[in-house]
Amino acid sequence: MESKQTVAVFGAYGHTGRFVVAELQAREFLPILVGRDPGKLKALAASHPGLDARQASVDDPASLDSALAGAMAVINCAGPFATTAAPVIEAVLRAGIPYVDVAAEIEANADTFADFADRARAAEAVIVPAMAFYGGLGDLLATAAMGDWTAADEAHVAYGLSSWHPTDGTRAAGAVSRQRRNGRHVRYRKGRLEYHGEDLPTLNWSFPDPLGTRAVIGEFTMADVVTIPSHLPIPDVRTYMAVEAAMDVSTPDTPAPAAVDGHGRSAQTFLVDVVLRSGVAERRAVARGQDIYAVTAPLAVEAVRRILAGRTRTVGVASAGEIFDAPDFLRALSPHISFELRQ
């Protein structure tokens, strides 16, 4: 019998990390539980007998090297990624293994591309940031919608979330991002990130069924403004968030997600509507599913599966749409996400 492929999960005891560990086990990988807090790591290991648990700190490179020893890849689920991404990437470059993270932080993802692109390419390493609901999914949808177009004028990513109960990790990452921006908002226009202090507009977005027309916050900017233009020649990338979800995540006392099924998923549902425009022509890709945190796990684990199988299109730092066959990847997520193209 072949031995299982080992994948280290940094931040394994976090909300998303637990989904990733479960998904790895469901797909016959062998997770290595890695984290910074020894107490939380011990508690998680007790609920997963037989799995190796290793404590590591981003301030201690030797501990990261020990934690990744024997792993064939690492999935970084530990935010804020402004703190964890660079040290863990340095460790995987030393180890010579692939790296995937689930960062939704715009600046952290931009830093990964800026700081590691040349070194990763020279080492023929595979580094995939934002391989998650925010950043990865939108990029895959935009790439699939792009099809045979060589360029587009605009990309619009509208998030129709029924609600958004943020985790502690989401709140911590948001606080770091706000601090880095000095309270400003960010958008992607004319091929670059812009920071501004203008009020965000509220407008209506015509979602496909079953949502229909809903009020959304315009320029509610997510990691798609880093991943999509990293490889697609689209100078204007805009993202939108359903008003109800935006209010949830901005309210300090919104509770954390609560499980409603045996998989630990919350009742939250989502519809992601991606529209590309080139002149008067328009193309659209749509994804539907349940629980944005839970669905991040199959996105990240499918990425690792394809990387280890050699089903990649490039090396270096690359977003999901650049390194994978986007339509095929999305179809492979069919147990978790329904996907359709409207061209």
Domain ranges of the chain: 6-132+296-326, 134-292
Fold for domain 134-292?
Dihydrodipicolinate Reductase; domain 2 (3.30.360)
Parts of the chain with a pLDDT under 70: 1-2
Q: Which residues contact 320 (CB under 8 A, 6 or more apart)?
A: 128, 130, 131, 135, 136, 137, 139, 140, 143, 227, 299, 303, 326, 329
Against a cut of 0.95, is the pTM above it? yes
Q: Which pLDDT score is estimated for 75?
A: 99
Fold for domain 6-132+296-326?
Rossmann fold (3.40.50)
Phi and psi, residue 220, nearest 5°: -80, 80
Q: Please, what is the Cα angle at 182 between 176 and 186, to 5 degrees?
A: 85
Q: Which pLDDT score is estimated for 1?
A: 36
Please state, as a whole number, how many other Cβ atoms lie within 10 Å of the Cβ of residue 322.
Answer: 20
Q: Which pLDDT score is estimated for 311?
A: 98
Q: Which pLDDT score is estimated for 342?
A: 86
Q: Which pLDDT score is estimated for 2?
A: 55
